[in-house]
Amino acid sequence: MRYRLTIEYDGGPFFGWQRQSDGPSVQGALEAAIEKLSGERVTVTGAGRTDSGVHALGQVAHFDLVKDFDAGKVRDALNHYLRPDPVVILDAAVADSEFHARFSAKARHYLFRILNRRAPPALEDGRVWHVSPRLDVDAMHEAAQFLVGSHDFTTFRAAECQSPSPVKTLDRLDVSQRADEIHIEASARSFLHHQIRSIAGTLKLVGEGKWTPRDVKKALDSRNRTACGTVSPPDGLYLVRVDY
C-alpha cells in the first residue's frame, strides 16, 4: 500500500530533509515514527529536499507499507509518534502505486519571509530573515522579473548542486510588502540547490540600493557563481505547496 503525506515542519532543529548520519533530519524522524506504527523499516520520499533550517507548510512525501492501515489512523498515529519533534502530518491518503512525491510533481511553490523592521523578532526568531534597513520593495520586484522564465541559473546555484543542468524555468517570482514583512514568492517545477536563497540575498542588495535591477540581469547573464549576492540564511524559507 502506498501512502501520501502532506507535512508541516519547523526546519530549525533539523539538518535538512534528507536522512543524515551525524544529525537529526525530517526524513529520519518520519521513518522512525512509521516503524513505531507498523514495525516496518521504510524509505520516505519527499517532493523537495529542503536544506537545514528550511521550513515546510505543505511538503509532500510517500512511502510503502506491507500492512494495510486506514489513512486517518496513519495520520493520527504518526503525529503521536513524532512528538516532540516539530513535524506534523496534516493529511494522509492512500495513493496510486504510480504516484511519486518527487517525480510526479508539476510545480513547487516557495515563500521567503524577510522581517523588515528595526526591532528583531521575538516570536518569529528562526522563522524569518531579519533585515533592519528599509528595503525598496518595488525595486526588488522589478529586479525579480528579469529572473522569470527559462534561464541558465549558474549564478544562483550552489557549488555542490547535483542537478545535471543549470537551466530552470521560473514560472513566478513576486516581491510584495505585507505589513512589516517582505514576501518573495517563487514557483517552478523544480529548483537548483540554494537557488531561492541566492536570489533572496541578491534581491536584498537591490532593496538596499547597493544594486540596480539591471545589475541582477547582468549577474544572471554572467553565468558565474561569483557574481551572485550573498546567500540568505535559511530561516525565512518555506516550501508552501506542491502541485501534481
pLDDT at 34: 98
Residues 131 and 62 in one domain: no
Residues 134 and 230 in one domain: yes
CA dist., res. 26 & res. 5, Å (int): 13
In a domain, 22, yes or no: yes
User: What is the per-residue pLDDT across 123-172, written as a single tens digit (0 to 9) for each?
Assistant: 999 999 999 999 999 999 999 999 999 999 999 999 888 899 999 999 99
Residues 117 and 235 in one domain: yes
pLDDT in tens, the chain (244 residues): 999 999 999 999 999 999 988 899 999 999 999 999 999 999 999 999 999 999 999 999 999 999 999 999 999 999 999 999 999 999 999 999 999 999 999 999 999 999 999 999 999 999 999 999 999 999 999 999 999 999 999 999 998 888 999 999 999 999 999 999 999 999 999 999 999 999 999 999 999 999 999 999 999 999 999 999 999 999 999 999 999 9
- Burial (CB < 10 A; 0-12, 13-18, 19+), residue 94, is middle
Domain assignment of residue 237, given as a range:
107-243
Nearest to 167 by CA among 184, 149, 142: 149
CATH number for the domain harbouring residue 216: 3.30.70.660
pLDDT > 70 in the chain, percent: 100
Q: Does the pTM of the predicted model rise above 0.85? A: yes
pLDDT at 244: 97
CA dist., res. 193 & res. 220, Å (int): 16
In a domain, 101, yes or no: no
Of 51, 125, 180, 243, the catalytic one is 51
pLDDT at 167: 97
Q: Is 70 a catalytic residue?
A: no
Cell numbers for 205, please give them. 542588495
Q: For the chain, what is the domain count? A: 2
In a domain, 224, yes or no: yes
Residues 76 and 162 in one domain: no
Residues 34 and 64 in one domain: yes
Residues 215 and 130 in one domain: yes
In a domain, 102, yes or no: no
Residues 115 and 86 in one domain: no
Residues 84 and 113 in one domain: no
Q: Which of 95, 122, 157 is the last residue of a domain?
A: 95
